[in-house]
């Protein structure tokens, strides 16, 4: 099964691109969903995080308070690195497990690994083809602020916590620029799909 690594800058529209590719027939495994799965109640990752940060990061429903954790790790590089060291290995394990299951069930289908931190986590050598979704920084800031209710400064911290977008673009096999309308984005995804079909038919 051929695996396409889909990544990009925060709030660049990666999830929208992923949804468009699924509509065309691709299979999708979403790193964000897996990262939630590995910290479910009773999991070792959750126990490690609570032992490290304390019970105050548990919300009223008994789940990890992701906003509270984010406020801690996005203000401290060492804390972010520690959190990633707990979550990333377990997420990668799930990627392989679910990829194997999908490969048996749907042989020959194109598989998308939607991973925001593809390069930061060192996963780039584990995929066959890399697609980066990018946009202008001001657009990123606007989208993050509107989506998460963050100030400009907080939005910039989120952006700066990831690898510089320019470096991701340099490592990509294909780049989609999401600076315009949804129709323009769809046209780029159409071209990408044609290219992928040519490479992996």
For the chain, give every domain's residue range: 3-196
Q: What is the pLDDT of residue 75?
A: 83
Q: What residues contact 137, with CB distance under 8 A and at least 6 apart?
A: 159, 165
Question: Which of 29, 121, 37 is CA-nearest to residue 80?
Answer: 121
Question: Residue 65 has what pLDDT?
Answer: 93
Question: How many angstroms separate the CA atoms of 75 and 68, rounded?
Answer: 11
E strands present in the chain: 3-8, 27-30, 111-114, 129-134, 174-177
- pLDDT means over runs of 10, the chain (201 residues): 93 96 97 94 94 93 90 89 93 94 93 95 94 97 93 92 95 97 97 88 64
Distance CA 181, CA 142 (A): 15
Q: pTM of the prediction?
A: 0.88
The rounded distance, in Å, linking the Cα atoms of 148 and 163 is 20
Q: What is the pLDDT of residue 139?
A: 96
Residue 117 gets which letter from DSSP?
Answer: T
Report the alpha-carbon distance of residue 170 to residue 130 in Å, rounded: 11
Please choose, from the candidates 192, 31, 26, 52, the residue with its C-alpha nearest in 3D space to the C-alpha of residue 119: 31
Pair 73, 154: CB distance under 8 Å: no
Q: CA-CA distance, 91 to 88, in Å (whole number)?
A: 5
Instruction: Domain 3-196: state its class.
Output: alpha beta
Cα(93)–Cα(70) distance, integer angstroms: 23
Of 61, 55, 38, residue with least CA distance to 69 = 55
Beta strand pairing status for 174-177 and 129-134?
parallel
């Amino acid at each position: 099964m051929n695996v396409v690594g889909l990544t990009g800058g925060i709030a660049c529209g990666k999830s929208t691109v992923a949804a468009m590719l699924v509509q065309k027939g691709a299979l999708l495994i979403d790193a964000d969903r897996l990262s939630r799965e590995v910290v479910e109640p009773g999991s070792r990752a959750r126990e490690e995080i609570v032992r490290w940060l304390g019970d105050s990061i548990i919300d009223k429903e008994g789940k990890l308070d992701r906003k509270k954790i984010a406020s801690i790790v996005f203000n401290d590089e060492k804390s972010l690195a520690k959190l990633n060291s707990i979550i990333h290995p377990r997420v990668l394990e799930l990627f392989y497990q679910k990829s194997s299951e999908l490969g048996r069930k749907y042989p020959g289908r194109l598989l998308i690994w939607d991973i925001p931190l593809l390069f930061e986590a060192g996963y780039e050598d584990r995929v066959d083809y890399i697609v980066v979704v990018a946009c202008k920084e001001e657009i990123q800031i606007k989208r993050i602020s509107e989506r998460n209710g963050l100030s400009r400064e907080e939005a910039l911290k989120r952006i700066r916590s990831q690898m510089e977008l320019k470096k991701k673009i340099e490592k990509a096999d294909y780049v989609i620029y999401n600076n315009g309308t949804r129709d323009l984005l769809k046209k780029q995804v159409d071209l990408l799909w044609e290219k992928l079909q040519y490479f992996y038919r």
